[in-house]
Amino acid sequence: MEVKLHDIGEGMHEAEILHYFVEPGQNVKNDEPLVEIQTDKMTAELTAPADGVVEELRFHIGDVVEVGTTILSLRTDDYEETQTMIVQREQKQPMKTGASSTSTKPYNNENPHKRVQASPHTRRVAREQGVNIEEVTGSGPSGRITDEDIYQFLKAPSKPVSEKSTEEAQPKEQEERKFVPFRGRRKQIAKKMVKSLHTAPHVTHFDEVMMSDLLDLKQQLKQEGTSISVAAFFIKAIQMSLEEHAIFNSKLNEEQERIELEPHFNIGLATDTEEGLIVPVIKNVEDKSIELIHKEMKELTAKAKENQLSAKELSGGTFTMSNVGPLGSTGATPILNYPETGLIAFHKTKRMPVVVNEEIVIRDVMNISFIFDHRVADGAKAATFVNRFIDYIHHPSKMLVKLV
């Protein structure tokens, strides 16, 4: 029985082998995890389709395989006979390597991607402290590495270096250059960005919005015991603005020569993670309150950081939002999340003097960038869409009036 890489997500074409849970000759039960893979959007596990014995692992860890490729094979009868056959075969020949393999090392479940149990925050601490997290022993449940384990590793005395090894050390300028593997999600992001930029003519519309009234409302709600993030208001304002300017909630079907207006408003949240950019989607925003949007947004963002999003949570987007203001951005020209027509990015909010009713006052002002596909819409429509969004932010009570 062959276990193949099947399509576990929208638009998936290939995946990288991250980790094997089994070895040749090992008995497995139906639905038991066999191999962990990394697509451009998520990490997932492929499970056994039936009880059996692992017969052959056909790829190395780190190999990239295409959908439909057999990753490993199982024998589902004659357990003892199969195990004897596997031992004999392993003694005669090495494991096969796929055509897309970049490794010539024998199968090793610890190399090059050691399965390290650690949170993204702990991994970040390790990088900032210059610690190879694979060398740290975890003290948490199931060997999970904690922040404290990193700091204890730093406190441990380093191994002495002999005079001979010091003398033989190469000059710094002759040391081998470090590199970052260009594969997995990073490679898939690159492919998607190139396709988007080369397919859709991008236009960016810049504007600014005064945030003072919305921030006052947010503070008032917090005092009353309801904490709502500003981003949740943004999502609702986007959806309401799209209802009046549906052309930006569409996708261009060039083959059938038509612009397809989406029936629902599914807003993607561009999220930065350890493995790269990922876009979880809040579905049917038109049917949800700002409070519910806030709750779903927090849940999806947390799952994205822990690499626990499902294919369903990553598919079906009709419009994308990028909130880079908390990172300090003052402006940008992002690339569309193709084949969507529009993307809006929010930048840093600054307190600055503005003229209101012929008077100079201090207000909270935020820059915004709206990127759209010029094949589908023109600049005038983009300006009216952004103006409507700004109106909702300037007068947030208008959003509350329209809530179901």
H-type alpha helices, 201-339: 212-223, 230-244, 290-305
Q: What are the phi and psi torsion angles at 304 (to 5°)?
A: -65, -45
Which two structure tokens, joined as six digits, stand for 29? 């039960």
From 121, 374, 394, 395, the catalytic residue: 374
Query: Which two tokens mark 15?
Result: 């995946």
Give the tokens for residue 109: 């479940």
177: Cβ contacts below 8 Å, ≥ 6 apart: none
d(CA 10, CA 338): 13
Q: How far is CA 113 from each of CA 76, 100, 274, rounded to the nearest angstrom?
A: 29, 17, 15
Q: Is the separation of the CB atoms in 74 and 24 below 8 Å? A: no
Whole-number Å distance between alpha carbons of 352 and 362: 5
Cα–Cα distance for residue pair 285/317, rounded to 1 Å: 11
Dist. CA 221–CA 396, nearest whole Å: 13
Whether 374 is catalytic is yes
Catalytic residues: 374
